[in-house]
Amino acid sequence: MGKRKRNSKHLEPCSTKRVESKSGEPITIGDEVELCDKMLMHQATADEGVSEDKEINICGIPYSLVCNNTQAGVTFVLEKASLTLAYVGKKYQILSSDEHAGYMRKRNLNPYSYRPDIVYEALLQIMTSQLCMAGRIKAVYIRTDEGVLIKVEPYARIPKSFRSFCNMMAELQQKLCIKAKGKGGKLLRVIANPITKHLSSPSRKIGLSFSSEKAVELREYVSGINSKQEVVFVVGVMAHGKIECDYIEDLVSVSRFHLSSEDCLRHICIAMERKWSVC
- Domain range for 163: 18-275
Long-range contacts of 178-184, Cβ-Cβ distance < 8 Å, separation of 24 or more:
178/55, 178/56, 178/57, 178/58, 178/61, 179/55, 179/56, 179/57, 180/57, 180/61, 180/62, 180/63, 180/156, 181/57, 181/58, 181/59, 181/60, 181/61, 181/62, 182/57, 184/62, 184/63
pLDDT tens for the chain, 279 residues long, are 544 443 333 333 333 333 444 443 333 333 333 433 343 344 434 433 333 333 334 434 444 444 455 688 999 999 999 999 888 888 899 999 888 888 888 888 888 889 999 999 999 999 999 999 999 999 999 999 999 999 999 989 899 899 999 999 999 999 999 988 776 689 999 999 999 999 988 899 999 998 898 999 999 999 999 888 899 999 999 988 888 899 999 999 999 888 999 999 999 999 999 999 987
d(CA 271, CA 6): 45
In a domain, 1, yes or no: no
In a domain, 4, yes or no: no
Counted domains in the chain? 1
CB 102 within 8 A of CB 166: no
The model's pTM is 0.76
Q: What is the CATH number of the domain that holds 256?
A: 3.40.1280.10
pLDDT value of position 28: 31
In a domain, 2, yes or no: no
